[in-house]
Amino acid sequence: MQDSSPLTGLSIVNTRASHQAEPLTAELAAMGATVLHYPAIRIAPPADFVPLDGALAALLQGKYDWLILTSTNTVEVLAQRLPVLETANGLAVNPARVAAVGPATAEAAARRLGVQAALIPEEFMAESLATALVLQPGDRILLPQSDIARPFLADSFHAAEANVTQLAAYRTLTGRGGDPVPQFFWEGRIDAVIFTSPSTVHNFLRRLKAEGGNAGMLVDVTVTCIGPQTAAAARGHDLPVQVTPDEYTIGGLVNGLMRHFQK
């Protein structure tokens, strides 16, 4: 712990899903913060794996030009489904090129799927990915995402006259468990809340309300969002966003918080 850190002694809420929370928690704790866990979302299998399995089989048969990976959750689902298709080499023999929305997703793809991303945009967001990916009419795109993913990427690829297969790789549900954050809000013990996606914003507020809280509780805390789309979701609920980092990563979030509280 760094005694001189501006985060020392602050209580910060990590709203990431339980299976993804640790990297952010570790960085915050290393800076002296007390981290409270309040999973806003949890990941569940799709209602039916048949469409996804069929698309993966087509991918392995060379029927797609690009595989678009927009989250580590998608990577994990693909890693779990490929053995079901009884493919010895997984995606290592996949002839399609891979585009990843950011370095964390690209690293997960290399580690779990054995593939290297041919494209990572300079800014780690869907808009930058759509701009960076130069498509030709008729290019075949496989886009597995959350069941509540924004249609932006699919719409952009359709506008480029690509053939897009967009399907649900997993469902995003409201989270559960963690610390008694609504109680801590009532007691005035929360200094900051961190959101890492629009779905964490929406589901955090849904869960908070169901557990006796309300959005007004965030007026006097530092609302921190990983990027502009997450910040837009927060502002859509009238939340005052104080921190949006220049780099849309976990490290960027922590650095942005430190600069904010240093002031």
Ordered alpha helix ranges (H), 101-168: 103-108, 126-132, 152-159
DSSP state of 144: E
Structural domains of the chain ordered from first start = 11-40+175-262 (3.40.50.10090), 50-171 (3.40.50.10090)
pLDDT at site 124: 83
Find the length of the chain.
263
Residue 133 corresponds to which tokens in the numbers above?
């990916």
pLDDT at 256 over 50: yes
Per-residue pLDDT tens for 171-226? 999 999 999 999 999 999 999 999 999 999 999 999 999 999 999 999 999 999 99
Burial of 262 per CB tally in 10 Å (0-12, 13-18, 19+): exposed
Single pTM value for the model: 0.86
Closest CA to 173 of 147, 143, 211: 147
Burial of 49 per CB tally in 10 Å (0-12, 13-18, 19+): middle
pLDDT at site 4: 79
CB 129 within 8 A of CB 66: no
